[in-house]
Amino acid sequence: MNQEIIDFIKSLYKTDKFIPLHEPSFRGSEKEYLNEAINSTFVSSVGEFVDRFEKEFAAFVGSKHAIAVVNGTAALHVSLILARVQQNDEVLTQPLTFVATCNAISYCGAKPIFIDVDEETMGLCPIALKNFLEKETKQVNGECINRSTSKVIRACVPMHTFGHPCKVDEIAEICENYNISLVEDAAESLGSYRNGIHTGNFGKLGAFSFNGNKVMTTGGGGMIVTDDQDLAVRAKHITTTAKVPHKWDFEHDEVAFNYRMPNLNAALGCAQLESLPDKLMQKRELSGIYKEFFESVKDVKFKSEPNHGKSNYWLNALQFKNHELQQSFLKEANSSQVMSRPCWKLMDELSMYSKCQRGGELACSRALSESVVNIPSTPV
């Protein structure tokens, strides 16, 4: 089986050389726009491309406001601050995620609580979330209080795993009923939709990433989206060192962050955004080829987009029948220069988060961690 899969992937990419998991492509106006930015001499956090990228990105995802920052982690960190997450608060999230999700929570002085994912979406499970809140929390003066710690559960951060949209509409309704702010970790889901609505638009704020391995890249970069004008204004203020606008004076009115995206990166982003629709179409074509192939492969299932969701198929994923088959494939594929990787190590298994509260056994998260593999996902 392993060799059959490896041979098929090599035939798709028409090479016996190393096949990366997901590499960027620069086939549009990237060099032209970068030269324009260089010639303008505005290469740092002020420039026409920053403003243009924010406006065009907001239009693409259907949000009213977008604020460009240096990376996806910074976008999530600031989003949590804007959602009033602070020292000693708690934030509900999933254990099956990249470490940046929990790190951003920790930057606020808060602690994550781990809620299981569901198998279909690989994202936060609304049933597990509701069960935890019903059994383990109470409402006091309009705040959600954890019965076991007496701390405020301020926010919930679902993540759209590998670009598959989670059941975020159901999660949003639960959060509203329990007075919890919803902040979407949409780092992996640019071009993904739930019931026709782009990810990142279901809660107060959404955070996207443009790392080099994402669907589109700015080298390093991220974006905060929101429909709330006051939050948007504050996001731009605190990501720009809280500098009070003035032609020459340096006045800062609070401790803040130097998180704004440089104009050079935004120039790259504008060019990448122009070609994004074509790239998303190519990625869907690749996922269709994979899906058809794996229908006849025993003991492995291709992870298709969930019901009521449209996935960008950022990273194509396979689910093997058991852990032994997963490990066997990882060893053989990588030895054959076909880059493959498992899910991230679960967050509650990392030393710095091992003592955080768990909302149950997290059985689905563990099962996926021990069976899922990502395979090359660059459009062919």
Q: Which residues does residue 184 pair with via DSSP β-bridges, in sequence order?
A: 206
Q: Which pLDDT belongs to residue 159?
A: 98
Q: Which pLDDT belongs to residue 267?
A: 98
Q: Which pLDDT belongs to residue 114?
A: 98
Report how far residue 258's alpha carbon sits from residue 240's, in angstroms, rounded to the nearest whole number.
5
The strand pair at 193-194 and 222-226 is best described as unpaired
* Secondary structure tally for the chain: helices H, strands E: 11, 16
Place of tokens 């569901």: 118
Domains of the chain: 2-26+275-342 (no CATH), 30-274 (3.40.640.10)
Q: Kindly list the averaged pLDDT for each block of 10 residues, start to end, along the chain of length 380.
A: 96 96 96 97 94 98 98 98 98 98 98 98 98 98 98 98 98 98 98 98 98 96 98 98 93 96 98 98 98 97 97 98 98 98 97 97 98 97
Q: Which pLDDT belongs to residue 221?
A: 97
Q: List the end-to-end C-alpha distance of the chain, in Å, as a whole number.
A: 23
Q: Which pLDDT belongs to residue 319?
A: 98
Report how far residue 64's alpha carbon sits from residue 227's, in angstroms, rounded to the nearest whole number.
5
DSSP 347: G
Report how far residue 41's alpha carbon sits from residue 186's, in angstroms, rounded to the nearest whole number.
32
Place of tokens 């220069």: 337
Q: Which pLDDT belongs to residue 42?
A: 94
Percent of the chain whose pLDDT exceeds 70:
100
Report how far apart, in Å, the C-alpha atoms of 317 and of each of 97, 279, 280, 287 are.
14, 18, 16, 9
Q: Which pLDDT belongs to residue 160?
A: 98
Report how far residue 204's alpha carbon sits from residue 228's, in angstroms, rounded to the nearest whole number.
8
| Closest to 377 (Cα-Cα) out of 164, 167, 193, 152 | 164
Q: Which pLDDT belongs to residue 131?
A: 98
Q: What pTM was estimated for this model as a whole?
A: 0.96
Report how far residue 64's alpha carbon sits from residue 233's, in angstroms, rounded to the nearest whole number.
12
268 Cβ partners below 8 Å, 6+ apart? 30, 33, 34, 217, 218, 219
Residue 232: Cβ-neighbour burial (10 angstroms; 0-12, 13-18, 19+): buried
Report how far residue 110's alpha carbon sits from residue 101's, in angstroms, rounded to the nearest whole number.
12
Q: Which pLDDT belongs to residue 12?
A: 97
Q: Which pLDDT belongs to residue 100?
A: 98
DSSP 260: B
- 3-class secondary structure, 45: coil
Query: Which amino acid is residue 14, in one-letter code?
Result: K
Q: Which pLDDT belongs to residue 200?
A: 98
